[in-house]
Amino acid sequence: MYTLFIHLCICLFVFATVVC
């Protein structure tokens, strides 16, 4: 569960970086 949350945060951060 915790790993999934961290993975989600990382993916979100990467997605935001790509969009910006």
Q: What is the pLDDT of residues 1-20, one digit of tens each?
A: 789 999 999 999 999 999 97
pLDDT given for residue 1 in this prediction:
77
Q: Which residue has the tokens 């790993």?
A: 3
Write down how long the chain is: 20
> Per the structure block, which two tokens stand in for 8?
């989600």
pTM: 0.34
pLDDT given for residue 10 in this prediction:
96
Q: What would the DSSP string read from start to end of the chain?
A: -HHHHHHHHHHHHHHHHHH-
CA gap 2, 18 in Å, rounded: 24
pLDDT given for residue 18 in this prediction:
94
